[in-house]
Amino acid sequence: MKEYIESGIVELYAMGNLSSTERMEFEQRLLLYPELRAELDRVQQALEQYAEAHSINPRPSTRRRLMDHVREQQRSESGEAQRDRSFYLTYKYLIAASLAALFISTFASWFFYSRWNDAEERYTAVLQEKQSLSLNLNTLQASFDKLYADHMIGRDPDVRILTLAMADSSAKPMARIYWNPRSHETWVEVLEPMPAENGMQYQLWAMEADTPVNAGMFDMPEEDGMFRVKDVAIATAWAVTVEPKGGSERPTMERKVMVTPGS
């Protein structure tokens, strides 16, 4: 809130130089932040004191002497000469008052313009920072939503979780399959990223008895989490082979890299 106050937004509001949207946002913050209300009261009081200090208001004694002088002139003079002198005197004071008002107006315009220019730069910086924070928040929200969705899939009692291990003797766990036999939805979660060669992709196979069925192509994801593959109605075992990009109709068994235990 300190940076918001120092941006000059309070002075702009006090002088009525905010747009309707900015004014509404400022007034909403007034209800939430007592320190902002206190700063607005201080600025308004300072502006009133400034205007009062520079207002032209002759002292009572001066005003009395001036009126006595005018009445004396009216009694001692008559006709055109008396009117000319009164007009000249009034005109002289009007010129003096106009020059004083012009000077005050010019100084006030310069002062508030310089403050407004500085406030505009600070306000622009605040808006840019706000946009950056909003973008980061959206990114974090999307990551959280993805993580929560994956978590709920794993907790679904209808979902079966199967491990895909290396097809060699190490049997190292490489990925997990989340399969819902009711809805036929299938997801894959990579545990150990293992990029395929150029021009090649991983292909998931669902074994229906002894017949392999294409369950979808995938590359190693750049981020953690699950990703959808094709729906599978029946599967007694699972396997992954490395195939040319786009997939094959039949698995290349020599390139089988992952299997479910017991396959």
Is 145 found in the same domain as 165?
no
Is 180 found in the same domain as 246?
yes
Task: Report the alpha-carbon distance of residue 31 to residue 4 in Å, rounded.
Answer: 15
Question: Which of 92, 118, 153 lies at the terminal end of a domain, its last residue?
Answer: 153
pLDDT at 119 over 80: no
What is the pTM (predicted TM-score) of this model?
0.49
For 26-78, the pLDDT digits (tens) are 888 888 888 888 888 888 888 777 666 665 555 666 556 666 665 666 565 55
Task: Give the number of other Cβ atoms within 10 Å of residue 205's Cβ.
Answer: 26
The total domain count for the chain is: 2
Is 172 found in the same domain as 144?
no
Question: Which of 95, 125, 153 lies at the terminal end of a domain, its last residue?
Answer: 153
Coil, helix or strand at residue 197: coil
* Domain of residue 195, residue span: 160-259
Question: Which of 153, 183, 213 lies at the terminal end of a domain, its last residue?
Answer: 153
Question: Average pLDDT, stretch 170-189?
Answer: 92
For 104-118, the pLDDT digits (tens) are 777 667 777 667 777
What pLDDT does residue 192 have? 86
When comparing pLDDT for 138 and 64, which is higher? Answer: 138
Is 217 found in the same domain as 138?
no
What pLDDT does residue 56 have? 55
When comparing pLDDT for 222 and 204, which is higher? Answer: 204
Q: What is the DSSP string of 138-166?
A: HHHHHHHHHHHHHHHHHH-TT-EEEEEEE
Task: Report the alpha-carbon distance of residue 204 to residue 217 in Å, rounded.
Answer: 6
Is 105 found in the same domain as 164?
no
Question: Between the ranges 44-53, 122-131, 146-155, 200-209, where is the mean pLDDT highest?
Answer: 200-209
Cα dist. 54→4, 14, 59, 96, 104 in Å? 30, 19, 14, 14, 7
Coil, helix or strand at residue 213: strand
pLDDT at 259 over 60: yes
What pLDDT does residue 66 have? 60
- Contact in structure between 43 and 30 (CB atoms under 8 Å): no
Q: What is the CATH number of the domain that holds 237?
A: 2.60.40
